[in-house]
Amino acid sequence: MGKRGKNVPASKDSIYGIIERDGEGKFIASTHGMKKGGVASATGCTPDEAKRLLEDKIKIMLKTERVSLVLTPLNPLEDHQCSLLWTGS
């Protein structure tokens, strides 16, 4: 029996956007053009906060209770510097 895919398919009513990290370490989430309204964006200290703030803005813009948001990262969202922390002998 084959393995099932780990990715959950997005609903047909999903709103697509991007998330990226700026030079100051903040995260910026924004959407592509929507039918009702233009482009929405939000800034947060973490990727989850930026996504939550963007969802809240979209809910207000579209006057709805539920929003399905699919964000694609443009660059790596986290810095992994584990090799710098390790000091082996």
Radius of gyration of the chain (CA): 17
Domain holding 48, by residue range, is 15-75
Please say if the pLDDT value at position 65 is more than 90.
no
Cα(78)–Cα(50) distance, integer angstroms: 14
pLDDT digit string, tens, across residues 2-55 = 556 556 666 667 888 999 988 888 999 998 776 666 788 999 999 999 999 999
Residue among 79, 32, 14, 25 at smallest CA distance from 50: 25
Q: Identify the CATH number of the domain in which residue 38 sits.
A: 3.30.160
- Domain annotation covers residue 89: no
Cα(44)–Cα(57) distance, integer angstroms: 13
- The total number of structural domains in the chain stands at 1
